[in-house]
Structure 1
Amino acid sequence: MSTTGDAEQPTTKAEIGAHCALPSCNLNDFLPIRCKCDKLFCRDHIAPDAHHCPLLVRSDSAQASASSTKLQRCAFSTCNKPSLEAYVSDTQDSADRTPARCSGCNQAFCAEHREPRAHACAPPEPAEPAPQKNAAAKALLAKHFGSSTGSGTSSTPSRPGANPKKLAQQRQIAVMKMRHKAKPADPKDTASSVPMDQRLHAFVRRAADDKASERVVWFRKTVWTGRALDILAAQFNLAITDTQPLKLLYVNDEGATIVLRTDQALTDQIPDGASLSLSR
């Protein structure tokens, strides 16, 4: 009986465990572990990198591809943050989503600079001249809110041939310079209480004065135009009464002077780095 038992013992041992699938090991492990690649390994070689798992190679390639996509930076010249498009540009879901790009210039920006006015958007020039604005709407605005000339919203001639993209780049450079010397328009505001990305910069002067009296100021982006007008009137010692109304004018890139509405937010009517003037 002992002889039969001795003869059956090797067969029992051979059925326990399995050999490590790594050719250089081939250890008969009693408790082998199955990898996701469906092969059995000993505890020393179960780690994917320990047996050069083919699934690990494919995973690394996918991660490298994803990393290279997420390295796409915000198109704003001084920003180093990843763009929003970098996080959602996976080709597997691109068919059913709207690209996270500016609708004007088609560039990808971070959350801070995604709004057109935050990156001084310069959309591509149209192939044909833009249609004329509704004349009736212009006349209605001029009637209720006045204009610097009394017959429209433009008091200075346009600059034919001006390149919008170049003007936007010039404004970006101007804003960067303004940040170093701009003062808070509201005496209640301080540089430490208002973050840089929450400021709206502007050149301000009296309409009748030359640029020698021009001031460089910044407002909170939440300020309403009416409040901004009151603040500037106090700075320039200009009274506002029923008989002496005061208007805040904005000179746009085309050289047109536009009367700003006091019942709207200032940041909704002018870009960062705009030129403003106070006029009766």
Structure 2
Amino acid sequence: MAELDVGRHCQLEQCRQRDFLPFVCDGCSGVFCLEHRSRESHSCPEVTVIERLKSDTHTSYPCSFKDCAERELVPVMCPYCEKNFCLRHRHQSDHECEELEIPKSRMAATQKLVKDIIDSKTGETASKRRKGAKNSETAAKVALMKLKMHANGDKSLPQKLRLCHSTSGEALPLDHILETWIAKEDCPLYNGGNIILEYLNDEEQFLKNVDSYLE
């Protein structure tokens, strides 16, 4: 009687048992017996690949620099502070390494240069301010002199209120400017500091007792 071809042999080399109800692995598509039907029991290569992918997704190295959320797939260690950083902060100056040493001579030279620049700018500003103040003072004096030279009398004042010469007592006409009296040869007016303001009658052209006003 011919032997019927029923069932399949387990593909696991250590087993090779014939199973009449074999199991086909949905991972590697292999045929296995009841004992080796699970992926772990026959060391399914699909399980190894999945586990490796899972482990790789969780393996990353965070950056130690403040407020940086970057992560790297490989460790980037600073040899000085021995902390891990991302590629952007891998250098000492980039992550403000606590072990970073700046040459003192270079720092001193830089500080001196900055101080010299600040001092020179401060000196220039002070000099400009002094010159500006002096020029403004001179301009004010010149403007005052011009005003005094070309000052006209106020014609709205009553005619009896007259400006009188401090030396001669002569009443100054309101329509004359001070420059006219300063240029007068016989009795010049040197400045407006001693001009006398007094009420006079229409007939009076000179002020009496001039000396009494100057006492």
**Larger RCO (CA under 8 A, 6+ residues apart):** 1
* Higher gyration radius (CA): 2
TM-score w.r.t. the length of structure 2 is 0.33
TM-score w.r.t. the length of structure 1 is 0.26
